[in-house]
Amino acid sequence: MTARIEIVATGATHFPAENFLNRELGILAFNRRVLAQARNPRTPLLERLRYLCIVSSNLDEFFEIRVAGIKEQVKLNSVVATTDGLTARAAYRLISDEAHAIVEEQYTLFNDELLPKLAAEGIQFIRRSHWSEAQLEWIRGYFFREVMPVLTPIGLDPSHPFPRVLNKSLNFAVELEGKDAFGRSSGAAIVQAPRVLPRVIRLPQELCDCEYGFVFFSSVLHAFVGELFAGMNVLGCYQFRVTRNSDLFVDEEEVKNLRAKIQGELPQRHFGDGVRLEVADNCSTVMAEFLLSQFNLGASDLYRVAGPVNLVRLMQVPDWVLRNDLKFKPFQPGIPKALQKSHAIFDAIRAGDILLHHPYQSFTPVIDLLDQAAVDAQVVAIKMTVYRTGTDSVLMQSLLRAAQNGKEVTVVVELMARFDEEANIGWATKLEEVGAHVVYGVVGYKTHCKMLMIVRREQTQLRRYVHLGTGNYHPKTARLYSDFGLLTCNEEIGADVNEVFKQLTGLGRAQSLKHLWQAPFALQQNMLAAIGEEAAAARAGKRSHIIAKMNSLLEPGTIGALYEASQAGVKIDLIVRGVCALRPGIKGLSENIRVRSIIGRLLEHHRVFYFHAGGKEKVYLSSADWMERNFFRRIELAFPILDKKLKRRVISEGLQMYLADNTQAWDMDSQGGYHPRRSSRSKPRCAQSELIELLGP
């Protein structure tokens, strides 16, 4: 039996609930900022469509996880208030109203602005009422050839109860009259759209008066649904989609084989409790109420939409349309000069620490490092953490090759990485098959830190080469997310990383680390201490400054420390992409705190923490946001930038450019509202564009 480590949260806040903002409303506020990108006429047209789809994808996960959790609390009649003072029932009402408003704005934008503008550019989504005879004939052939053979209509009667409907799948509720071949007349049927069928179909160009003509799968089925019910009259056919609770709950302390348990639970994720029902706006009231009853949902859970019930399926359209003039201008990631001079990456790292700033600089050096290590005769061991890496990862292929070449390969795979569990189990199985050591971290704590260590025999000694990062080992997201990575062979950092790996793979007490701040042991305490030192400096009349960039700021103890630092006179600049529970700009509480969010073509993902520290300027990069889960329920790292030149780079590229941004920045007010930051008196500044220019080849 493994004893669970007891972690005591420090820095509990004494500030009242009115000084905090609601997490879920903050998530919806973030999605409003993303939606604003879709609304912005300066955004290239196909990218506007992509942003619209991103909002839908974000809302899907929001309902699957956050809303599902709140509805569970409501079901249990929980009266416990969160940090912001709201009970689950009160929060749900506010969330529901705001979510309905966002969805309505989405479809208004889609129908009234994006579709007409796309049509003007020769990209048309052709409605049934506008099909020509030639188009109708082609679509009829497509239906009988590609669609009808894989459909299974289910009539609802005592022998055919309502079918199990997969999470987020496309379905059709059909109202019928008449009798079938067996004399049955249930009046209703369900048609489930198989996932193998595309939701958007391109018509042959010769049949269109435009370059790109598309039809929705839903339009095709609506047009020919009568073919599925011979001799009966179709009174109505309505798209619907149910979103289910998809949070995977596994009591790790009660499980003997975690991987087997998760494998057994994964199929059930698709059939969790219903959370949201989306229907086409033409759905009859009777049918909508019937569907709600099937999923045990209420009227507030119903979302009527004027168009496809799943806008996420349009995400591929910008990639299908070969119109670069309607997309962001592509850019080529650069390679650090230190790596341009040498093909031997180990030689380059020995010459000095190397900072990688993705996606402005290529992720290829990380791939090359592992690739070279896999075949280097001097490499004796490789250790790596895996949180999200994808199903076709070249990095995992290198680890497999390294194990096959006789290296000691140890991989800490996080099996509970939400929505990546299946891919991670697959890689764990493959790694074990070639003799790698695969462990699953520590019971009760997700392994979220990003670290890679390569041990190489050089002459008479073993040298550790380390990569530490703020983002996942995922080549695809490394092209879309902003992240920092550090390549170093610093002996003390290598010793720290080795100690963390010992904790993850073995047993024993946590040892103090020389440079790294580690959660769940010391990360929050060290952050609070650094904030406290700035506050003490301010009280002594000395210069003080805190700048922090992250995805989310929620942990109440840390927020309380920031409030106290502000009251002491510390200047605090926070760059928080997503949800922020802190209220800035309140006199006597937070008037010295500014909060801004950057929303652009790339997803801001790196976490950067700066403390003036009496002029020493401490800079840490991290895999962790300032959230309770990151501080107390995950294994995380924050690592310092020790090289002075690289430290200046991080301050400039990761913080100062973002503070100067006046084209993609949103300033947050004390009520949680966001306002685009514009300055007519200064030239436009865009951090992402400047970094593309600065770090490109």
Residue finishing a domain among 472, 502, 532: 502
Active site residue 605: no
On whether both 189 and 236 belong to a single domain, the answer is yes
Question: Would you state the pLDDT for residue 623?
Answer: 95
Q: Is residue 14 part of a domain?
A: no
**Residue 374, Cβ neighbours under 10 Å: how many?**
21
Contact criterion met (CB below 8 Å) for 171 and 190: yes
On whether both 310 and 352 belong to a single domain, the answer is no
Question: Would you state the pLDDT for residue 416?
Answer: 59
Domain tally, the chain: 3
Q: What CATH number is given to the structural domain containing 484? A: 3.30.870.10
CA angle, corner 527, sides to 674 and 520, nearest 5? 105
On whether both 451 and 585 belong to a single domain, the answer is no
Please tell me whether the peptide bond between 158 and the residue prior to it is cis, using omega within 30 degrees of 0.
Answer: no
Closest CA to 262 of 478, 418, 455: 418
Q: Is residue 511 part of a domain?
A: no
Q: Which of 357, 358, 448, 606 is catalytic?
A: 448
Q: Where are the alpha helices (DSSP H) in 405-451?
A: 421-433
Q: What CATH number is given to the structural domain containing 155? A: 3.30.1840.10
On whether both 322 and 343 belong to a single domain, the answer is no
Which parts of the chain sit beneath pLDDT 70?
1-13, 158-160, 179-186, 248-271, 416-421, 679-681
Q: Is residue 467 part of a domain?
A: yes
**Residue 238, Cβ neighbours under 10 Å: how many?**
21
Residue finishing a domain among 287, 304, 326: 326
| Residue 531 host element (H or E) | helix 523-539
Question: Would you state the pLDDT for residue 2?
Answer: 32
On whether both 229 and 180 belong to a single domain, the answer is yes
On whether both 399 and 269 belong to a single domain, the answer is no
CA dihedral 316, 364, 381, 643 (to 10 degrees): -120
Q: Is residue 310 part of a domain?
A: yes
Structure tokens given for 620: 């840490």
The amino acid that residue 343 corresponds to is H
Contact criterion met (CB below 8 Å) for 177 and 235: yes
Question: Would you state the pLDDT for residue 581?
Answer: 97
Q: Is residue 658 part of a domain?
A: yes
Question: Would you state the pLDDT for residue 163?
Answer: 85
Q: Is residue 115 part of a domain?
A: yes
On whether both 541 and 659 belong to a single domain, the answer is yes
Q: Is residue 627 part of a domain?
A: yes
Burial 155-191 (b: 16+ CB within 10 A, else e): bbeeeeeeeebebbbbbbbbbbeeebeeebeeebbbb
DSSP letter (8 states) at residue 445: B
The amino acid that residue 195 corresponds to is R
On whether both 529 and 471 belong to a single domain, the answer is no
Residue finishing a domain among 302, 326, 350: 326
Question: Would you state the pLDDT for residue 12?
Answer: 57
On whether both 433 and 489 belong to a single domain, the answer is yes
In terms of residue numbers, what domain contains 127?
21-326
On whether both 134 and 254 belong to a single domain, the answer is yes
Question: Would you state the pLDDT for residue 578?
Answer: 97
Question: Would you state the pLDDT for residue 678?
Answer: 77
Please tell me whether the peptide bond between 520 and the residue prior to it is cis, using omega within 30 degrees of 0.
Answer: yes
Question: Would you state the pLDDT for residue 171?
Answer: 95
| Residue 611 host element (H or E) | strand 607-611
On whether both 176 and 31 belong to a single domain, the answer is yes
E strands, 186-273, are: 188-192, 200-202, 212-216, 233-244
